[in-house]
Amino acid sequence: MCGITGIYNFTNRPVDREILCAMADSLRHRGPDDDGYLVKDNIGLGFRRLSIIDLSTGHQPIHNEDSTVWVILNGEIYNFANLRENLLSRGHKFYTKTDTEVIVHLYEDLGESFLEEIDGMFALALWDSRANKLILARDRMGKKPLHYCLLKDKLLFGSEIKALLKHPECPRELDYDSVAKYFHFEYVPAPNSIFRQIKKLLPSEYLVVQNSEIKHKTYWQIPYNETKLKLSLEDASGELFRLLQNAVRKRLVSDVPLGVFLSGGIDSSTIAALMSASASDEVKSFSISFSDPDYDEGPQALLAARHIGTRHFQEKFSPQTLIDLIPELADFIDEPMADPSIVPTYLLSKFTKQNVTVALGGDGGDELFGGYPTYRAHKLYSCYSALPGFIRKGAAGIVNSLPSGEGYFSLDFKAKRFLRGDGYPADERHARWMSAFLPEELPVLFTPQVAAKTDFSALYSELKHYYGPGTKDPLDAVMYLDQKMYMQDDILVKVDRASMAASLEVRAPLLDKDIVSFAARLPSSFKLKGATTKYLLKRAAGKLLPPGIINRKKQGFALPLTKWIKHDLSGLLDEYLNAGRISGEGIFNPDCVKQLLSEHRAGRKDNRKAVWSLLVFQMWKERFNPSL
């Protein structure tokens, strides 16, 4: 895993090497082992390397035989060995053993369609000096990030926004539409970023920049609108098991030690068991534990490790350790993201990095195979919405009178969240269940001046774009929505930033392109069967895991924010959300912020998501100093 960055001047103005080096140096945490540069006339490519494959000769940028095509790659190409063998048979000459080198030769043979042949997780930049053409591309699911900024006479790009901001001409203007989306979704949906002129390349997308002309192209799509597979449950289970085996095996190629994240849930346990069955050496598994039993997965992780037979490493952290880490969040997130699980994910990554350089994880199982409680909630809502209005009104009165609990997804929290979506179409209902602030609350959160600059009607532009792309099944439509928004712009961003901050590479077998395609073409009844989530995945995993692990109640990587906001986080909240600071900065309505805090601290309302999103934004703003 690495960090890439670059500058493409549309004029003949030479690239400033000192600026390029500063951009690359901001990505040192992504690649502490090596750096490399191509600076030639109007193109500059910068690279920071975390050595994984071909430790001795894998220095980037990589070039073709006559040095007319150059590439920098962040990620791994899993099918590079087969591609290399085929390219050698066609007469190509290789000077390294790294996976990256296959890209320049594939491009020579296939042009832009080389992307269709690559199986991996990656973000790359390829420079064709003969055509004066730059290609920027991301992997199919967006596991590796790539940002860019188009200026009048140049294009800047980088793995993280902080690299672009090192260029003195990169604007820092805040995008207030993106700010509103952040406070609703708790992340900024692609292709936009929190900065108005900085964009995110979408998954499966590539950018072709030739002179000053720019074209966006797509080389793959999740096949939800293709004909569904007609398989029995038994045959589908067998095929999924085969695909899982292949996905894990191809991700075991490495010249450095590997391990696996193991929480004790079905996703990570399945990956750990398959890894243990395929690896030639003893598998090392990693988890972290907390003193609060409501949020602690440590005991379940130990049970899973004993069953699978991994050499398990586990460390217990006190609440204070996590709290002390919170101010550091802004150092490794480029834009505000209010998923609190980034804190334990970073701790787990740091702990894992002490023993290995690469870890396999279980991300993707919920979105592909129907694991989230919200999918069940949509089925429940179809029954609830059929009830007479007076019964629903009475139920709402009872629910809203429930006192706020402090436990992990307490009953009152779930019930109140459920009612937030009543009366809305499925896509908006889904967003309202997950949101920090509701759409109608956003104009009140901001000052009148900021609200006037914000197009609140654009809040659901990405949501409406992705919802129901030719799918007739409502559950499929919601799952696709999660894959293209929540997983893409929250889960995968969280894992990338947290792991890369610790210089650890994380691979996601469940997001293998063959598994994604297979899952998309399955009927939704194979995923959510009655009230049973991940039905097919559980059936396939039954060949490896006992019922206790397979049927374990889902538990996320959460923090006890409801308690912390009342007590442990008081110092940070008073520092960043005090009335004087809020009034002076002119973004938020100080009366609204004060009310959110007072309601939560008094136990009248659970405002954990709203308060946390405000705190994260304030810490981010202090670190990145956007132009208002």
pLDDT on residue 553? 81
Same-domain check for residues 587 and 544: no
Same-domain check for residues 261 and 332: yes
Could you tell me what percent of the chain has a pLDDT over 70? 98
Q: What is the pLDDT of residues 45-85, one digit of tens each?
A: 999 987 776 666 778 999 999 999 999 999 999 999 999 99
Q: Which of 296, 338, 321, 328 is nearest to 608 (CA)?
A: 338
Range 247-276 average pLDDT: 94
Q: What is residue 588's three-state secondary structure?
A: strand
Last residue in a domain, options 515, 550, 585? 550
Q: What is residue 501's three-state secondary structure?
A: helix
Q: What is the pLDDT of residues 70-123, one digit of tens each?
A: 999 999 999 999 999 999 999 999 999 999 999 999 999 999 999 999 999 999
Q: Residue type at 360?
A: L
Number of H helices, E strands in the chain: 30, 17
To the nearest 5 percent, what fractions of the chain are helix, strand and coil? 45, 15, 35
Q: What is the pLDDT of residues 192-236, one digit of tens each?
A: 999 999 999 999 999 999 988 999 999 999 998 888 999 999 999
Dist. CA 290–CA 309, nearest whole Å = 23
Q: What is the pLDDT of residues 1-23, one digit of tens each?
A: 689 999 999 998 999 999 999 99
Dist. CA 197–CA 189, nearest whole Å = 15
Same-domain check for residues 592 and 618: yes
Last residue in a domain, options 218, 250, 268? 218
Same-domain check for residues 611 and 537: no
* Side-chain half-sphere CA neighbours of 280 within 13 A: 4
Same-domain check for residues 365 and 492: yes
In a domain, 294, yes or no: yes
Q: Which of 615, 623, 620, 611 is nearest to 576 (CA)?
A: 615
pLDDT on residue 469? 59
Helix (H) / strand (E) element for 455: namely: none
Dist. CA 144–CA 617, nearest whole Å = 23
Q: Give the range of the structural domain holding residue 487, as residue numbers without chain letter.
A: 233-370+477-550
Assess whether pLDDT exceeds 90 at residue 452.
yes
Question: What are residue 162's phi and psi, to 5 degrees?
Answer: -60, -30
Q: What is the pLDDT of residues 509-531, one digit of tens each?
A: 999 999 999 999 999 999 999 99
Same-domain check for residues 135 and 244: no
Range 284-291 average pLDDT: 93
Other C-beta atoms lying within 10 Å of the C-beta of residue 472: 9
Q: What is residue 405's three-state secondary structure?
A: coil
User: In this structure, what CATH number is given to the domain that contains residue 174?
Assistant: 3.60.20.10
First to last CA, the chain: 34
Angle at 220 between CA 217 and CA 225, to 5 degrees: 120
pLDDT on residue 255? 80
Same-domain check for residues 37 and 170: yes
In a domain, 454, yes or no: no
At which residue do the structure tokens 């992705």 appear?
A: 466
pLDDT on residue 408? 61
Same-domain check for residues 137 and 6: yes
> What does the DSSP assignment read for 205-249?
EEEEEETTEEEEEE-----TTSPPP---HHHHHHHHHHHHHHHHH
In a domain, 408, yes or no: no
Same-domain check for residues 194 and 275: no
Is 592 an annotated catalytic residue? no
In a domain, 223, yes or no: no
At which residue do the structure tokens 């949101």 appear?
A: 435
Q: What is the largest CA-CA distance in the chain?
A: 77
Contact 164/443 with Cβ under 8 angstroms? no
Contact 143/191 with Cβ under 8 angstroms? no
Q: Which of 36, 40, 28, 41 is nearest to 61 (CA)?
A: 36
Q: Which residues contact 280 (CB under 8 A, 6 or more apart)?
A: none
In a domain, 507, yes or no: yes
Last residue in a domain, options 498, 520, 550? 550
Number of domains into which the chain is organized: 3
In a domain, 309, yes or no: yes
User: In this structure, what CATH number is given to the domain that contains residue 486?
Assistant: 3.40.50.620
Same-domain check for residues 340 and 266: yes
pLDDT on residue 471? 67
In a domain, 68, yes or no: yes
Same-domain check for residues 130 and 172: yes
Instruction: Say what the pTM is.
Output: 0.95
| Segment among 269-273, 418-422, 537-541 with least mean pLDDT | 418-422
Q: How confident is the model at residue 582 (pLDDT cuts 50, 70, 90)?
A: very high
Same-domain check for residues 30 and 168: yes
In a domain, 385, yes or no: no
Helices 426-434 and 176-185, axial angle in degrees (round to 10): 80
